[in-house]
Structure 1
Amino acid sequence: MQSRLKRTASLLTAFMMAMSSMALTACSDSGNTTEEETTTGQSEELAAENTDDSLYVNPDWSYGQVAIGGGGFVTGIISTCEPGLFYARTDVGGAYRWDNGAQKWISLSYEISEDDKGLLGIDGIAVDPQNAANVYLIAGTSYFSNAKTCIMVSHDYGAHFKQIDVSDKIKVHGNGMGRGNGERIAVDPNNSDIIYCGGRTGGMIRSTDGGETWESVASFPVNSTKNENGINIITFDGSKSADGKTTRIYAGVSESKTDNIYYSDDAGETWSVLPGIDEKAQKFMPQRFDLDSKGNLYVSYGNHEGPWNSAQGTLYKFNADAGTSEEIQVVNWTVGDIVIDPTNDDNMVLVTSEVWTEQPNGAFGDKFFRTTDGGETWENLDGKYTMSTNGMDWIYNAAIHWCSSLAMDSGDSNRILVNSGNGIFACDNIWDESPEFYFEAKGIEEVVPEDIVSYKDYPLVSAIGDYDGFTHEDIFSSGERHTRQIGSTTSIAIAALDHNIWVKVGGDESNQLLCYSTDGGKNWTDITNSPEEGKVYYKGKVALTADGSALIWSPSNSNFTYRTEDWGSTWEKVEGIIGSQGVYLIGDPVNKDYVYGCANSILYVSSDGGKSFKRKFDTMSTYKRLAVAPDIEGTVYIPGGGSGLLKTTDHGENITLVNGLKFCEAVGLGKPKNDGDPYVIYVWGTPKDSDVKGIYMSEDEGETWVRVNDDLHQFGGTGNGEFVVGDMNVYGRCYMSTVGLGIAYCDKNEK
């Protein structure tokens, strides 16, 4: 079976590459390589790399993300030489490519492993100006994967990437301050083999072989900056070239009140400060560069790196040949970016960043301006443009904000895309009297899932970082956002015997955001009374007893767990759980007297409705969640880490080992194939030491295990929520949390 799947992997990879070449065509045969050499040769080489026997592809399953649409900070958008083709990067959710035919974004980051989850933080993106199939990402996250930094190289539109580890040379941080600046990586428009990249630390590096190997650019004068944003912009002026490569290169440095823009006129061998920078310009930090066809360099400035700490700024135009500069006085706020019409330098669009003005939907966000006379005059679009949700109605009251990247379709100067803290907005008629902006985030799923609930004959309900949570009747259509919006929601519970009763929690140091619903999430009531007078508790985990008569809450900033039977009018301190914050809690689905908890490897059980708990078992692991069997009292599954999967059928009195698992980090249950069969067990773990860590399923209580995901669908592991949960309504479907790829799903093709 394994060998058949490996052969299938080779065929699927070759097929996908062939389809990619048919669907998308390279842009230019100019430069040092022909189109055929660039596209076909590199694709064949990549195919050889990706079709070896180590690749495992599972043809029995389909994979994707539960549809929400947007929900995170898209930090950069890149147009390409191919009309209608864009790439986008995010701070924690990888990179995407716009599929113009399907009218949706396609994730390029499913195959990131748990060990490499830091590579979901994309700090820069570059596309070959001659061939849009060649895309390069600079990826890394300081707090994940030992701060590993890689150049991700693809020659097939991002269908596959090769990782080139450059951690020994530079470091980046895709979720760091200044992540909307850029781009810090660029491809020479006259030589596709030459790529430059700026690090947050370590200075500048370059490749002369298409990204395969990298060397430090020792002549560049800056290696790091105090704000840890480093070299944040690199741009080639393709009109200046010699010996088959671009000679003029610009680089921006994330500093103010000092030299912060440099240029080279000898292909990066030596660097000088850009001439003409006056005192006003120098007091700001460069955010982004844009070049017009005449070689003028436009610089968007802010007084800090962003995305939330910059308030002032301006726009400048520099000409390195003449040594001149000109302030383009549009606004005195931070300028996020401008985009120049490639067919007419006089036409430009500008967007601010971190400006809070009322937008057409009543939300507050950034401002748009446009010029048709080369910047002599600018038109403020306030009150002239409209906004629409484009079918993703949860975004109806959200702003276009934190804007730091504009892109224009190379084949249609009427169409622009702009990033925001919620996703991407597009406009197809930017030069009309009344431009129409709409949410263009279908396929981008960048939310951070924290919790999820699946009951038989009931919608899928989730808790999400930043965006509350959603209810899904259909996981393939954008869900309905919770009506009580509290922002980041860390836990949600629904009473097993009365699905009308919900409770969820979020909040922060100044706000206790704990609320409940008694009508299935349609209406909510806040619980404002604190369990401890004068203290503000927040986040953590919540549970309800089976009938919803009692709420148990373990805040993330308290060493105690609390219980109430009157929705917080009165509280009692739970006995038996002390010194643990954010204890995972879940009620027995049948008996309201039993509640289970886990923290610091300890299994806790209450037999009095959550008033007191007893320690039942120490797994010596760091598991975070339990799974209870629906309709079965007392049965709890416990992920035991290196101890495998554990189970109790008598409220924790006796613990047994489920067969066949060497390691188990998360466990969930799902609908069986046939009525009367055992619930399907889904785990994140490994059956044997030789197995790859991933999602596995068992339909016979652990006697046999089958891998669910494959090497192309790892999603960076279980992320913040650390869950794998089966669907109780669809056999062969399960969900997994991620660090920024939304709620991943696996769906068995044959039901």
Structure 2
Amino acid sequence: MNLIKPLLGALLLASAAAQSAPPAQTPYRWREVAINGGGFVDGIVFQPAVPGLVYARTDMGGAYRRDTATGRWQPLLDWLPLSEVNLMGVESLAVDPRNPDALYLACGTYTNPAVPNGAVLRSKDRGRTFQRTDLPFKLGGNEGGRGNGERLAVDPNDGRILYLASRQDGLWRSTDAAASFKRVDALPDSAWRRNESDGPLPSWGGSDGKASVAFVLFDPSSGTRGQPSRTIYAGISVVGRPSLWRSTDAGASWQPVPGGPAQHRPMRGALASDGRLYIAYASEPGPHRMGNGSVWRLDVASGAWTDITPERPGATRPFGYASVTVDPSHPRRLLASTAGRGGGDELFRSTDGGASWQPLLARAKFDAALAPYVADTHLHWLYDVKINPANPDHALFTTGYGGWETLDLTAADKDQPTHWQVMSGGIEETVALALHSPTKGVPLVTAIGDYSGFVHEDLDKPAAGNPKPPFFGNTHDVTGAEAAPEVIVRIGKPRDGAKNLGYSLDGGKTWREPATVPDAKSSDGAIAVSADGRAWVWTPKGGAPHVSHDRGDSWTAVTGLPAGTRVVADRVNPQRFHAVALFDDQRYASDDGGASFSAAPLALPDGRVSRPAAGGHHASNRGDARGGQDRLYATPGREGDLWLAAHHGLYRAGDGQAFKRLPAVSEIHAFGFGRAAPGSPDPAVYLVGTVSGQYGIFRSTDGAASWQRINDDAHQWGLILQVSGDPKVFGRVYVGTHGRGVQYGDPAR
């Protein structure tokens, strides 16, 4: 009997089983790197049945519930995986005033044909768990008009009935607490379908130029408990024709409300308990610049309309009005916010139903301690304003970077300034474009979309402010020197005529601009810094790579490297740089500090990789173009040792060797290194993608011979763009998300 063949067969079967079995789970504790805000909070809804209970929605970072005890916002949609990332954009949210535990979220980020339809997530426990109702149409939580609303509303007299206003498919109704929806055909298509009178399509925002239903309001006084409200209003984002429609028979028929303004679009409406309806209007659905706007009051009983605009926009100062709200306990007390007002938006206060107004923010006092970076950002995108039903002194308004709140609103009624503080504690809505954890010094430096990035001295406390100079509007990349961690370099889109590159020679404490830059117009691309910090290679997006050996005093075009080729520095030898042109099947190496590169075939063992289709961030089948996939990485502590984290798999090459594909990994979205495990010769490797058929965040401590999943189903955050371990602390990992900020994890003790 031959014992070798059976033994060999058993070993092969065991190896195959090991590769197909899901990786082991390693428990981690996850927390947010404190930035506070950083994205557009576009809606706030109080639950009137529970004092202090309030929810917020964001355009691409999920929804939040505020903890009534601590005041911090708790994320509700972190469980959404990459496959459901479209649901991270929350178009609208609603509560049932008679059921304190009911919550409804209308989710869907875009209306373009490439994304799935939207869904309504319904909860019976304030957002701790959800059931899902798929919709036969798309929603646009991150498109133009996303600050309008609310598009989703619960009948205050009958919680089984909800109305959902769509962008392209009219008005929908549920009679079973959002378990199903049917279109309201009684509202005529001509009311909400786009026509030529709606004006030209704006330049950005997907469906923002198309007619849509912008908000739904019930009149609670038109029904009794347990019976549907008979009067319902729908605001339609159109111009030149009726934009406010009303049903007085519980939705069975709809008619335009006569006499209303037709020159602007309705943005938000508020119905006061004394029978007056207030509507904010603007020339565009927002949140881009406005040309004009107004605020109007409708006396429902008489049908009389009154223009109560607080401040009239003009040709030299064009703007619109984004929101108007009523104090639930005082029907004549109002707040109205502007949109796109040059020099900073304003919040107006009225105590007489709009007969007179006073500006609040021009004389207000602001405390930015909870998010110091906002002190550099003017007030903008005040698309929702709310007064706490349980406290008339407490008001909140949203911004493009979170929001503000006051606890002395009525001080304005005594001709005193109001005091405002950042309300965004717990809300993290930034997009992390790059992560850098130096070998010594601060834990983390981040490159953030829409902002100047941050130097995080304490992960649990917000940074002292934006690093500058230069002051960036976007930070596209940040990196540093392996053996000289005090050297950190970042590139981005500058503000106020600054240069598009900045550097620090003291670990991020102070920053300076170089004397010159190779491409003053480009703000995108990638920067590489040699191990000793003396050579910087910058590849502008699609542009020619340049190298500087004198901290930017001069730059020289790199030879031998095609335009747009991303470069990485060797982590040991300061003279060596590496690059890969994945879709051209070429690899490149430099031994002269990045001045010149030599080429060789990449020759992956499973063949050449097809070039993805051109387009935006999500245009190809190789993940988000801003993510960490399809990139080359150099191993810490090992000269010439390279990893290629291709979207379709993981490859490794020793110094001068060919790349070999590593098993188990079938998809990558982010990749990085961290401190080695005690006793291990290999740095820890972190990967976001699919390993042995399972999607997640993974760690390997043995050079990718085996993997452990370190996140769980409650911590997925939709789309993840970047991951990096900390070279100073074994097990610590930073995760850069698309709309949920930066998360960090440590092994659970």
The bucket for the TM-score relative to the shorter chain is 0.7 to 0.9
Deviation at 1:599, TM superposition (A): 4.4
**What residue number does 2:613 align with?**
none
Which is worse superposed, 128-137 or 263-272?
128-137
Gap change, CA 1:616 and 1:681, over 3 Å in 2: farther
The separation in 1 between residues aligned to 2:379 and 2:280, in whole angstroms, is 18
**What residue number does 2:303 align with?**
323
Aligned equivalent of 2:631, options 625, 639, 656? 625
The answer on whether the counterparts of 2:517 and 2:552 sit within 8 Å (CA) in structure 1 is yes
Aligned residues: 672
Which is worse superposed, 726-735 or 615-624?
615-624
**What residue number does 1:114 align with?**
82
Aligned to 2:221, the other structure's residue is in SS state strand
Equivalent residues in 2 for 1:183-582, closer than 5 Å? 183-221=150-188, 222-225=191-194, 227-228=209-210, 230-241=212-223, 244-277=227-260, 281-333=261-313, 334-357=320-343, 365-432=344-411, 433-459=416-442, 460-480=444-464, 481-484=466-469, 485-507=471-493, 513-527=500-514, 529=516, 531=518, 536-558=521-543, 560-579=544-563, 581=564
**What residue number does 1:39 align with?**
none
Which is worse superposed, 498-507 or 256-265?
498-507
Aligned to 1:396, the other structure's residue is in SS state helix
The separation in 2 between residues aligned to 1:147 and 1:156, in whole angstroms, is 27
Deviation at 1:611, TM superposition (A): 2.3
**Residue 85 in 1 paired to residue 65 in 2?**
no
The answer on whether the counterparts of 2:170 and 2:212 sit within 8 Å (CA) in structure 1 is yes
The answer on whether the counterparts of 2:26 and 2:709 sit within 8 Å (CA) in structure 1 is no
**What residue number does 2:73 align with?**
105
Identity across the alignment (%): 31
Deviation at 1:308, TM superposition (A): 2.1
**What residue number does 2:640 align with?**
634
The residue type paired with residue 142 of structure 2 is N
The separation in 1 between residues aligned to 2:440 and 2:361, in whole angstroms, is 47
Aligned to 1:119, the other structure's residue is in SS state helix
The answer on whether the counterparts of 2:24 and 2:707 sit within 8 Å (CA) in structure 1 is no
Deviation at 1:730, TM superposition (A): 2.5
Gap change, CA 1:550 and 1:237, over 3 Å in 2: same
Aligned to 2:545, the other structure's residue is in SS state strand
Deviation at 1:527, TM superposition (A): 4.1
The separation in 1 between residues aligned to 2:514 and 2:90, in whole angstroms, is 39
The separation in 1 between residues aligned to 2:342 and 2:518, in whole angstroms, is 36
The separation in 2 between residues aligned to 1:658 and 1:139, in whole angstroms, is 38
The answer on whether the counterparts of 1:116 and 1:145 sit within 8 Å (CA) in structure 2 is no
**Residue 730 in 1 paired to residue 729 in 2?**
yes
The separation in 2 between residues aligned to 1:409 and 1:677, in whole angstroms, is 57
The residue type paired with residue 158 of structure 1 is G
The separation in 2 between residues aligned to 1:605 and 1:589, in whole angstroms, is 14
Deviation at 1:569, TM superposition (A): 4.3
The answer on whether the counterparts of 2:477 and 2:527 sit within 8 Å (CA) in structure 1 is yes
The answer on whether the counterparts of 1:512 and 1:537 sit within 8 Å (CA) in structure 2 is no
**What residue number does 2:571 align with?**
589
Deviations 1:331-375 (A, max 9, x none): 224222222121211222222222234xxxxxxx21122222332
**What residue number does 1:674 align with?**
678
The separation in 1 between residues aligned to 2:97 and 2:468, in whole angstroms, is 45
TM-score (structure 1 length as normaliser): 0.85
The separation in 2 between residues aligned to 1:99 and 1:188, in whole angstroms, is 25
**What residue number does 2:128 align with?**
159
Gap change, CA 1:229 and 1:476, over 3 Å in 2: farther
Aligned equivalent of 1:708, options 707, 710, 729? 710
TM-score (structure 2 length as normaliser): 0.85
The separation in 2 between residues aligned to 1:350 and 1:468, in whole angstroms, is 31
Deviations 1:310-341 (A, max 9, x none): 13211111133422211113122422222212
The residue type paired with residue 256 of structure 1 is V
**What residue number does 1:645 align with?**
650
Gap change, CA 1:178 and 1:675, over 3 Å in 2: same
The answer on whether the counterparts of 1:117 and 1:145 sit within 8 Å (CA) in structure 2 is no
Which is worse superposed, 520-529 or 326-335?
520-529
List alignment gaps of at least 5 residues for structure 2: 1-21, 199-208, 314-319, 610-621, 623-628
Gap change, CA 1:694 and 1:349, over 3 Å in 2: same
Which is worse superposed, 345-354 or 189-198?
345-354
Aligned to 2:266, the other structure's residue is in SS state strand
The separation in 2 between residues aligned to 1:117 and 1:662, in whole angstroms, is 20
The residue type paired with residue 183 of structure 1 is E
The residue type paired with residue 658 of structure 2 is N
Deviations 1:713-738 (A, max 9, x none): 111132xxx32211222222212222
The separation in 2 between residues aligned to 1:57 and 1:702, in whole angstroms, is 13
The residue type paired with residue 160 of structure 2 is D
The residue type paired with residue 180 of structure 1 is G
Q: For the aligned residues, what is the CA RMSD?
A: 2.5
**Residue 62 in 1 paired to residue 29 in 2?**
yes
The separation in 2 between residues aligned to 1:475 and 1:144, in whole angstroms, is 39
The separation in 2 between residues aligned to 1:544 and 1:148, in whole angstroms, is 44
Deviation at 1:452, TM superposition (A): 0.7
Deviations 1:131-171 (A, max 9, x none): 232221222122696143111222211122233221x2x32
Gap change, CA 1:61 and 1:224, over 3 Å in 2: farther
The residue type paired with residue 490 of structure 2 is K
Gap change, CA 1:118 and 1:598, over 3 Å in 2: farther
The answer on whether the counterparts of 2:26 and 2:747 sit within 8 Å (CA) in structure 1 is no
The answer on whether the counterparts of 1:180 and 1:404 sit within 8 Å (CA) in structure 2 is yes
**What residue number does 1:611 align with?**
595
The answer on whether the counterparts of 1:590 and 1:632 sit within 8 Å (CA) in structure 2 is yes
Deviation at 1:504, TM superposition (A): 1.4
The residue type paired with residue 219 of structure 1 is A
The separation in 1 between residues aligned to 2:719 and 2:298, in whole angstroms, is 46
Gap change, CA 1:198 and 1:537, over 3 Å in 2: same
Deviation at 1:382, TM superposition (A): 4.8
Deviation at 1:389, TM superposition (A): 1.1
The residue type paired with residue 654 of structure 2 is T
The answer on whether the counterparts of 1:177 and 1:229 sit within 8 Å (CA) in structure 2 is no
Aligned equivalent of 1:139, options 98, 104, 107? 107
